[in-house]
Amino acid sequence: MLFSFFLFFSVLAFVCGAPTSSAADAANPLDITGINVTITLEDLVTNLADLSFNVSNPNPFEITIDRIVVAAGVDSTEYISFDYTFEDPVVVPLFGTANSGDIEDVTLTQGGLATLNTVSLGYLDLLNLDLYLREATIDGQLGIPVNATGLTQDDVPTTYDTPFN
pLDDT digits (tens, 9 = 90+) for 64-100: 999 999 999 999 999 999 999 999 999 999 999 999 9
pLDDT digits (tens, 9 = 90+) for 4-51: 433 333 433 344 444 444 433 346 789 999 999 999 999 999 999 999
CATH number at residue 137: 2.60.40
Q: What is the pLDDT of residue 12?
A: 38
Question: Is 10 among the domain residues?
Answer: no
Report how far apart the first and last C-alpha atoms of the chain are (Å, whole number): 68
Q: Which residues pair with 50 in a beta bridge?
A: 38
Question: Is 73 among the domain residues?
Answer: yes
Q: What's the domain range around 122? A: 29-161
User: What's the total number of domains in the chain?
Assistant: 1
Q: Which residues pair with 121 in a beta bridge?
A: none
Q: What is the pLDDT of residue 44?
A: 94
Question: Is 11 among the domain residues?
Answer: no
What residues contact residue 68 under an 8 Å CB cut-off, 6+ apart?
A: 82, 83, 84, 86, 100, 129, 130, 131, 132
Q: Are 159 and 34 in contact (CB under 8 A)?
A: yes
pLDDT digits (tens, 9 = 90+) for 119-151: 999 999 999 999 999 999 999 999 999 999 999
Question: Is 18 among the domain residues?
Answer: no
Q: What is the pLDDT of residue 15?
A: 41
Question: Is 15 among the domain residues?
Answer: no
Which of helix, strand or coil describes residue 46? helix
Question: Is 24 among the domain residues?
Answer: no
Question: Is 3 among the domain residues?
Answer: no
Q: Which residues pair with 92 in a beta bridge?
A: 63
Question: Is 141 among the domain residues?
Answer: yes
Q: What is the pLDDT of residue 10?
A: 41
